[in-house]
Structure 1
Amino acid sequence: MMTKHIVYLLALLAVGCTTPKTSEVVVYADGPVREATVFAPGIISTDTHSEFSPTFSPDGRTIYFPRRAPEEKQQIYVSNFVDGSWTPPTVAAFSTDRDETPYITPDGRRFFFGSERPIPGRPNLGGFDMNVWMMEATPTGWSTPAPLPSPINEVQQEGEQWPTANNNLFFTPDNETYYFTTLQPGAAAIQLFQTTYRQGSFSPPTRITGLFDDPQYAVYSAVVSPDGRYLVFNSYGVPSGAGGEDLFVSRRTAAGWSPAVPLGDKVNSPDEESEPRFSRDGRYFFFTRAENLGNYTYGEWNIMYLDTEALGLDQLFD
């Protein structure tokens, strides 16, 4: 069963990729969005549930995002942008377990998401584990989800607890180089890894270093801007942040990724900020915010957004 899943996955990844061209620019607001604003309030972002980590179809007109009711498992919902507004979201047909961090590749051919569902033949022996699953676009919709093979998915061994071996967001800006974060056994914190898919398999993941001087600070939920210039991620308790969970950005240089700096007070606050994302054309920047209630308790998460230009990314490195 497991062999069949891996063979199926490799066959899907072997298909050549071209990024579709779209002539229409999708605008989600009536004018400039210069300050962090709740995204599609009452439709996508609600007061009664937590919504986070959106992904968009290549044309920007379909959104997938996880939604979690209090004390319930999160599932992935889908909505369409029609006549200037989003349709009422419904649970995506493939979301049958605790599912999160959806991501559609730039060419629209693959859909990755994190799930608690068990991997056939590789039982989780630890406390709590999520892994990356993939679907392929077909003429009739998304294919049946299949788990990514090792070395991407590593299930927990007996005695291991979250976030050890936890994998949920699998991101690529170019359909070839993939980024993911996980906590390896014995590591001080969640770290960022890079892998490529070539000649039928993923390369051994390599860790991206130099984002923080201190290895105790986590790097997770990392994405790259559509122009390839910026790496944005969240971390917790970093002294240069605004408190709690904050977003940080690194700029691509000739030598690799620069040391990370806080994303700035347009985004970071004494509340909790996480799950950075960009719209397909890079026009908008998305993140997730929850009120910090103290003692590691939080309000419901909402998807926030603003114009990427308003972040002044280059100025953050001056």
Structure 2
Amino acid sequence: MRSLVLASLVLVAACGAESVSYNVATPIFPAADAPTAFTRAYSMTESRDGLIRVYAKEDGDYTKLWEMRKQEDGSWSDPQTLDFPSRITLTTPSFSASDGALYYASDADIFERGQRDLNIWRVEATPEGWGEPEPLPASINDGARNFNPAMDANGHLYFTSDGYDSIGGHDIFEAVLDEETGDWAVSTMPDGVNSPKAEGHLAVTPDGNRMFFYSHRAPKLGVVDIWTMTRGADGNWQMPENLGEPVNTAGIDFGAGLSGDGSRLFFSRDGELMIIDLEVALAGEGSVSTSQ
């Protein structure tokens, strides 16, 4: 089966085609060695123009960011590591649908107090490479473990933290930038969005009306599943639902991300990066019962 997938993807790359459909969850690197518990990849994200992809990959105790750039023939370059400031962890990258920058988390030292936990950083992408990475201000990076950033086209930043009165291992929070002061106003999500279990690996559609994240909460199909939630007509977030099949399985499904136009879902299945059309991914939304 993997050989057939590989053959079809090679044909697509050779033709430079962009119209291919992913009606099933398809490996992004079908010829790569199977990941181990120490080499899992996740959180693939794509720039607004569809020309850059970045993802996180574990390497033992270290986690690094890797980038690929679309070439003139429509194929993708070989992955290369990104040399951003860190000690041992660069993780959860996400391109912003608002300013186009890459947001991610790093454990690099920041601020005068020598803050060393995970903090959210931002860097501009350029045709030649990258600008100068910079941490978000202390109104976001408050000394807790803050990571899993995702920003919609309206500039609303979502992230997870074990601070800010978190009720679980890590909870989802929303932040809006005050353009005059440069500070972020952080607010909690509606009751029922977060759980006593950890939430993580956020992805939000460009219009800000749908979010994906992983959770250990029930009901679930596997060790950990991907969940989704939408905004109602009143603009408020509705309660999350298990994404169900064909995305979730009895294994470990996590690390959601989106293509630049929001039409495709990236995710990690047991540490292997996958891609699927978003409309196909949503087919099983809410289908997992409380008995599972």
Q: TM-score range by the shorter chain?
A: 0.7 to 0.9
Tell whether the 8 Å contact from 1:58 to 1:108 is kept in structure 2 after alignment.
no
- When residues 204 and 197 of structure 1 are mapped into structure 2, their CA distance, relative to the original with a 3 A threshold, is closer
1:146 to 114, 134, 138: 134
Tell whether the 8 Å contact from 2:225 to 2:242 is kept in structure 1 after alignment.
yes
1:234 to 206, 214, 217: 214
Partner of 2:267: 287
Tell whether the 8 Å contact from 1:170 to 1:178 is kept in structure 2 after alignment.
yes
Are residues 1:179 and 2:170 paired? Answer: no
SS at match of 1:205: strand
- Deviation at 1:33? 1.5
Tell whether the 8 Å contact from 2:228 to 2:242 is kept in structure 1 after alignment.
yes
- When residues 280 and 119 of structure 1 are mapped into structure 2, their CA distance, relative to the original with a 3 A threshold, is same
Partner of 2:277: 307
Tell whether the 8 Å contact from 1:235 to 1:248 is kept in structure 2 after alignment.
yes
- Deviation at 1:272? 0.9
- Deviation at 1:142? 2.5
SS at match of 2:231: strand
Tell whether the 8 Å contact from 2:47 to 2:100 is kept in structure 1 after alignment.
no
Partner of 2:70: 81
Are residues 1:248 and 2:227 paired? Answer: yes
Amino acid at match of 1:31: V
Query: How far apart, CA to CA, are the structure 1 residues paired with 2:283 and 2:202?
Result: 16
Partner of 1:59: 49
Give the CA RMSD over aligned residues.
2.7
Query: How far apart, CA to CA, are the structure 1 residues paired with 2:55 and 2:285?
Result: 31
Query: How far apart, CA to CA, are the structure 1 residues paired with 2:93 and 2:231?
Result: 25
Are residues 1:193 and 2:183 paired? Answer: no
SS at match of 1:63: strand
- Deviation at 1:53? 0.9
**Higher mean displacement: 273-282 or 108-117:** 108-117
Percent identity over paired residues: 25
TM-score normalised by length of structure 1: 0.74
1:268 to 248, 251, 255: 248
- Deviation at 1:286? 0.9
1:68 to 41, 47, 58: 58
- When residues 208 and 261 of structure 1 are mapped into structure 2, their CA distance, relative to the original with a 3 A threshold, is same
Are residues 1:33 and 2:22 paired? Answer: yes
Tell whether the 8 Å contact from 1:62 to 1:80 is kept in structure 2 after alignment.
yes
Tell whether the 8 Å contact from 2:86 to 2:106 is kept in structure 1 after alignment.
no
Query: How far apart, CA to CA, are the structure 1 residues paired with 2:173 and 2:149?
Result: 10
Amino acid at match of 1:309: E
Query: How far apart, CA to CA, are the structure 2 residues paired with 1:211 and 1:117?
Result: 33
Tell whether the 8 Å contact from 1:111 to 1:136 is kept in structure 2 after alignment.
yes
Query: How far apart, CA to CA, are the structure 2 residues paired with 1:312 and 1:215?
Result: 22
- Deviation at 1:269? 1.4
Amino acid at match of 1:55: T
SS at match of 2:227: strand
List aligned pairs for 1:147-226, cutoff 5 A.
147-155=135-143, 165-184=144-163, 187-189=166-168, 190-198=170-178, 199-212=180-193, 215-226=195-206
- Deviation at 1:106? 2.2
SS at match of 2:104: strand
C-alpha offsets along residues 188-208 of structure 1, whole Å, 9 cap, x if unaligned? 302111111122323431111
Tell whether the 8 Å contact from 2:210 to 2:231 is kept in structure 1 after alignment.
yes
Gaps of 5+ in 1: 1-25, 156-164, 291-300
Amino acid at match of 2:68: S
- When residues 139 and 187 of structure 1 are mapped into structure 2, their CA distance, relative to the original with a 3 A threshold, is closer
TM-score normalised by length of structure 2: 0.80
Gaps of 5+ in 2: 1-15, 288-292
Query: How far apart, CA to CA, are the structure 1 residues paired with 2:182 and 2:40?
Result: 36
Query: How far apart, CA to CA, are the structure 2 residues paired with 1:248 and 1:219?
Result: 9
- Deviation at 1:310? 0.6
